[in-house]
Amino acid sequence: MKPSANPRTRIVCFPHAGGTAGFYQAWGPLVPDDVELRAVRYPGREDRLVDPLAETMEALVAPTVAECLPLLDRPLALFGHSMGASVAFEVARRLYEVHGARIAGLFVSGRSGPGRESTPEQAYSTASDVELVEHLKELGGTDAAALDHPDLLELVLPAIRSDYRIVEEYRAGHTGAVLDTPVVAYYGDDDDEVDAGSVAAWASVTRARFTARSFEGGHFYLSDHRAGLLRDVLSRIGAPAVT
């Protein structure tokens, strides 16, 4: 995304269900040169189009942990939106519990905290193509051109269904604080999927500081508040944003 020859810190970003690493491409120009920005590429999309789709949260977490371990020579922060927030949390949890690594910060967005995950009214992993596409268009965040192009739709829908299946089946299953790192939760104040109460549940996962902050907008508020959101993230890891 944005490499750095000698980074002061690193941020690894986790996409939403059906999302790609390219979702964070526009963050690059807003990050100072000494902050390295990376994004996770889930299987079944972009340059991993032919890779087998993940069927469980563990299938996403385990290889990502392995990729993050060499990055711990610098302070490492994780940012995840929607499903990506849960993946980022599980990666942070594994890094701490198994490898004793305390990351610089966990930033979760558009996702209820563990124990407050809601069961969708409809299982979109098994919904019809029409229903799934309609849902994705309502949420925003997915390339509209892909959703309106039959050939592209055929390529992207399997990965989206796979992600939704993981979301529908995932429960954190933790008891008490499992991290020792600051956690910041962001959400849109008009998001139908989360609210202030469900976001506040993230406070239970850490023994360190917890902060919640809302922005105007729906589930993909971050597309309209990219600069403000990233400015806040960077300020919390001691890195000024590019102006």
Task: Give the Cα-Cα-Cα angle 186, 192, 196 (nearest 5 degrees).
Answer: 40
Length of the chain: 243
Dist. CA 44–CA 157, nearest whole Å? 10
Which pLDDT does position 158 carry in this prediction?
86
Catalytic residue, candidates 86, 109, 198, 219: 219
Phi, psi for residue 66 in degrees, rounded to 5? -60, -35
Tens of pLDDT along the chain (243 residues)?
677 878 999 999 999 998 899 999 999 999 999 999 999 999 988 888 889 999 999 999 999 999 999 999 999 999 999 999 999 999 999 999 999 999 999 999 999 999 887 655 567 777 777 787 887 777 776 655 567 677 777 778 888 899 999 998 998 876 678 999 999 999 999 998 899 999 999 999 999 999 999 999 999 999 999 999 999 999 999 877 665
Supply the pTM of this predicted model. Answer: 0.92
Question: Which value, in Å, is the radius of gyration of the alpha carbons in the chain?
Answer: 17
Which pLDDT does position 79 carry in this prediction?
98
Which pLDDT does position 144 carry in this prediction?
56
Which pLDDT does position 131 carry in this prediction?
81
Edge-to-edge, what's the strand order for the sheet holding 210-215?
A: 35-39, 9-14, 76-81, 105-109, 183-188, 210-215
Query: Known catalytic residue: 128?
Result: no
Catalytic residue, candidates 82, 109, 162, 198: 82
Give the pair of three-digit tokens for residue 133: 């596409």
Q: What is the DSSP code (8-state) at residue 70? A: G
Q: In order of start, what are the domains of the chain with their CATH numbers?
A: 9-236 (3.40.50.1820)
Q: What is the DSSP code (8-state) at residue 28? A: G
Query: Known catalytic residue: 4?
Result: no
Dist. CA 218–CA 6, nearest whole Å? 37
Q: What is the DSSP code (8-state) at residue 128? A: -
Which pLDDT does position 57 carry in this prediction?
95
**Distances in whole angstroms, Cα of residue 239 to Cα of each of 5, 27, 78, 234, 243:** 16, 14, 15, 5, 12
Phi, psi for residue 77 in degrees, rounded to 5? -115, 150
